[in-house]
């Protein structure tokens, strides 16, 4: 069974890595199956193949197993969170696995290099490491798994019903992804703590093999629908951006809003009846400039016209700068030269 678990988890990891190269999987999802692979490798070496390795190597894999076991639940939550919320998860979810890893690493190094096994400190560190890890796996791990399962289901807000499948298929499949993991944890707890019969244990363990196939399948389906949803939102945003751009052009060409000296993105967004985020995205993506340069481009084009207009021949450079939306002569000169390579005076003389 252990070898079969290593094989199927390796194949799942391999396939997810291939999809990562094709940009159809994310690194954290590949890492999720990578943790499973190393968990089974660690479990197999520490329980069945101790004699094939030195005592230090076997102990290292034993300590690694405990760390990997409690890392899976927050990582599963991370996968669901990232796909549905599109935000980076808080690193604090990994504090406890990191602390356990640190304790186990320091304990392992001390026990490896401390040659006197009868020394008081050797026994204290050995017993402390053993007690901490078994308390973690016997008591903390079930609570930890339940906590992150609840948090993951809260992201979705519903169990995988037929209604959810039609309304939000990406949530339906991620809900199944969580439930299959929950079932794995439940079976692991039952067969380790509640059942002694070897036949029943063996039957329950068979789910472990099935888990990787079905979990990978529902993860893949969930990601597929997330991709479709994101594309639909992108198309919707394109229509929205086109509408905002039309309003923006009217404000610029008809109302000449850029002539307001204190114009900022918040004020302009309010005038266009949109929000700052969408307006900034539109200017950045469509015109390849930031808001400040975008507005100054229009101010400079306007100032170039009035510099050559006979009606303004008696105006000073500072006055033309003020008419064009600049607060100061120095600001006007610097911006004008940056855009044209000439000062306003030189531009007027050269015309």
> Are the CB atoms for 70 and 141 separated by under 8 Å?
yes
The half-sphere exposure of 61 on its side-chain side, counting CA atoms within 13 A, is 20
Tell me: do 82 and 161 sit in the same domain: yes
pLDDT at 171 over 70: yes
Tell me if 222 is assigned to some domain.
Answer: yes
Q: What is the CATH number of the domain that holds 317?
A: 1.10.10.60
Q: What letter would DSSP give residue 159?
A: -
Tell me: do 271 and 200 sit in the same domain: no
Tell me if 117 is assigned to some domain.
Answer: yes
Tell me if 238 is assigned to some domain.
Answer: no
> Are the CB atoms for 123 and 134 separated by under 8 Å?
no
Tell me if 243 is assigned to some domain.
Answer: no
Instruction: Give the confidence band of 52 by pLDDT, cuts at 50, 70, 90.
Output: low
> Are the CB atoms for 233 and 29 separated by under 8 Å?
no
pLDDT for res 214:
92
The half-sphere exposure of 259 on its side-chain side, counting CA atoms within 13 A, is 14
Mean pLDDT of 261-280: 87
Residue 86 in tokens: 């599109």
> Are the CB atoms for 76 and 36 separated by under 8 Å?
no
What are the tens digits of pLDDT across the range 176-232? 999 999 999 899 888 877 887 788 878 888 888 889 889 999 999 888 888 877 776
Q: What is the CATH number of the domain that holds 204?
A: 1.20.1070
Tell me if 248 is assigned to some domain.
Answer: no
Tell me: do 30 and 118 sit in the same domain: yes
Instruction: Give the confidence band of 325 by pLDDT, cuts at 50, 70, 90.
Output: very high
pLDDT at 161 over 90: no
Tell me: do 208 and 263 sit in the same domain: no
Tell me if 272 is assigned to some domain.
Answer: yes
Tell me: do 223 and 276 sit in the same domain: no
Tell me if 190 is assigned to some domain.
Answer: yes
Tell me if 331 is assigned to some domain.
Answer: yes
DSSP one-letter string for 3-34: HHHHHHHHHHHHHHHHHHHTTSS-HHHHHHHH
What are the tens digits of pLDDT across the range 1-12? 778 888 988 999
The total domain count for the chain is: 2
Residue 344 in tokens: 């306003």
Q: Is 335 or 241 the better-scoring residue by pLDDT?
A: 335
pTM (2 d.p.): 0.65
Mean pLDDT of 70-78: 91
Tell me: do 21 and 128 sit in the same domain: yes
Structural domain of 144: 1-233
pLDDT for res 310:
86
């Amino acid at each position: 069974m252990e070898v079969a678990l290593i094989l199927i988890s390796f194949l799942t990891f391999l396939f997810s890595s291939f999809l990562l190269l094709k940009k159809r999987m994310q690194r954290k999802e590949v890492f999720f199956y990578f943790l499973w692979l190393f968990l089974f490798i660690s479990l197999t070496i520490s329980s069945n193949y101790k004699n094939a390795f030195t005592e230090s190597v076997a102990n290292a894999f034993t300590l690694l197993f405990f760390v990997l076991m409690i890392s899976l639940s927050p990582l599963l939550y991370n996968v669901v969170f990232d796909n549905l919320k599109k935000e980076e998860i808080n690193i604090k979810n990994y504090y406890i696995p990191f602390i356990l890893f640190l304790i186990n690493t320091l304990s392992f190094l001390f026990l490896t290099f401390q040659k006197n096994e009868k020394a008081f400190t050797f026994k204290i560190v050995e017993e402390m490491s053993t007690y901490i890890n078994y308390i973690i796996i016997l008591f903390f791990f079930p609570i930890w798994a339940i906590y992150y399962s609840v948090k993951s289901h809260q992201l979705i807000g519903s169990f995988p019903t037929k209604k959810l499948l039609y309304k939000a298929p990406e949530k339906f499949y991620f809900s199944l992804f969580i439930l299959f993991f929950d079932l794995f944890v439940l079976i692991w707890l039952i067969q380790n703590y509640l059942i002694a019969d070897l036949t029943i244990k063996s039957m329950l363990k068979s789910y472990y093999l099935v888990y990787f196939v079905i979990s990978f399948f529902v993860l893949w389906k969930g990601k597929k629908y997330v991709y479709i949803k994101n594309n639909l939102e992108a198309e919707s945003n394109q229509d929205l951006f086109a509408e905002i751009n039309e309003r923006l052009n009217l404000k610029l060409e008809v109302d000449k809003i850029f002539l307001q000296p204190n114009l900022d993105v918040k004020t302009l967004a309010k005038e266009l009846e949109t929000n700052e985020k969408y307006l900034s995205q539109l200017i950045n993506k469509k015109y390849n400039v930031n808001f400040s340069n975008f507005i100054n481009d229009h101010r400079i084009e306007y100032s170039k016209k009035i510099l050559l207009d006979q009606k303004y021949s008696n105006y000073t450079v500072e006055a033309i700068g003020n008419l064009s939306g600049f607060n100061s002569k120095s600001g006007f000169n610097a911006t004008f030269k940056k855009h044209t390579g000439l000062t306003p005076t030189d531009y007027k003389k050269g015309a």
